[in-house]
Structure 1
């Protein structure tokens, strides 16, 4: 049996109140000096109206924070990716520094109408000045390949003779690939620190990827 020495309490005992801040979510296992690299504020309604909350870390389900949805966003630090459904599921939308007052601002020319987001996370490996990706014609990195280190609004115009990319290796940084030229259509956020940077087939591009069609790609801005 373990015995512990008796410690006489010092009187009087002063109890410090525990203050909970519901509008700023900062709990994290990361070192505190890294938290300021990512900051986003979300609103429940369009045009920055209604309930709001500031985040420095990922949120897997905004409804757990008492929100019904997210309909406007301000990204202050770092790039983020928003998702259509909880647990980072559904269509993806890259959120770089700036204001997103309505859904059209994050969906851009995607042609996919998603009027609200339910989960989001920071893109931590984005490095615009040091990004490299390799595209492959076949699944599991087979067939013809194409190495990139710059933005390409049209892969076909730069020599990729197919509308499809069957697998991708992200060597450094983070990228967003698009279904159509001109950065249009479905978005696929491809990161070095996810899947070890290896996307063996189009099903790994996104939980809602329906095709391996990729016709433009660019580096994510930090």
Structure 2
């Protein structure tokens, strides 16, 4: 019996509309600086990817699923810098996250199993200082309605907002990362 494995693949292009030098990637890459100078368009052939502005998975983060992104504004990019990437693992099952109003899991806590388009409406404030991702993979957004800076969270404990790469505790919305 043969088992078919889906290989994740993404292609980065230096110029808009899939022009210029390109670099194909099918695995996690902590530093892509030597492969291209800038990234102005991306084609995700398969898989779901988390892209980072700086090497070693630092800086602005972007979640991309299969599709074409002819310019960096299409993936809500702040600039044309992509320097590291990783594949978002497949998750089949439930989703569960606990968010806290204070660091180290203190203060008011709310548990979510669904997306939240507006944290302030549901949580009565927009600062999340710590969280525990129990099940699934989640994306936090700085603004309501899934806009602004993005933060990718895997299962684990985040004692303070800097643990998920944020510069402030402001979170406006968050959603589950489904893989289709």
TM-score under structure 2 normalisation? 0.89
Question: Which position in structure 2 is the counterpart of 1:77?
Answer: 46
1:149 equivalenced with 2:113 (yes/no): yes
- Cα distance, 1:35 vs. partner? 6.5
1:115 equivalenced with 2:80 (yes/no): yes
- Cα distance, 1:88 vs. partner? 1.5
Deviation by residue 1:143-186 (Cα, 9 ceiling, x = unmatched): 211111111111222x3011100101111111111111111121
Deviation by residue 1:63-104 (Cα, 9 ceiling, x = unmatched): 233x22222111222211111112222111111221111110
Question: Which position in structure 2 is the counterpart of 1:60?
Answer: 30
Higher strand share: 2
Point out the structure with max Rg over C-alpha.
Answer: 1
- Cα distance, 1:139 vs. partner? 0.6
Question: Which position in structure 2 is the counterpart of 1:180?
Answer: 143
Gapped runs of 5+ residues in structure 1?
A: 1-32
Over the residues paired in the alignment, what is the CA RMSD in angstroms?
1.9
Deviation by residue 1:11-55 (Cα, 9 ceiling, x = unmatched): xxxxxxxxxxxxxxxxxxxxxx79634221211211111122321
In 2, Cα distance between equivalents of 1:62 and 1:93: 15
Q: 1:160 to 1:34 in 2, by over 3 A?
A: farther
TM-score under structure 1 normalisation? 0.73
Q: Number of residues paired by the alignment?
A: 177
In 2, Cα distance between equivalents of 1:116 and 1:46: 13
Given that 1:42 and 1:70 are in contact with CA atoms closer than 8 Å, whether structure 2 keeps it comes out as yes
Deviation by residue 1:182-219 (Cα, 9 ceiling, x = unmatched): 11121111111xxxx1111011111xx22101120001
In 1, Cα distance between equivalents of 2:7 and 2:178: 13
- Cα distance, 1:128 vs. partner? 6.5
Stretch of structure 1 that moved more, 128-137 or 85-94: 128-137
1:218 equivalenced with 2:156 (yes/no): no
In 1, Cα distance between equivalents of 2:167 and 2:72: 22
Question: Which position in structure 2 is the counterpart of 1:199?
Answer: 158
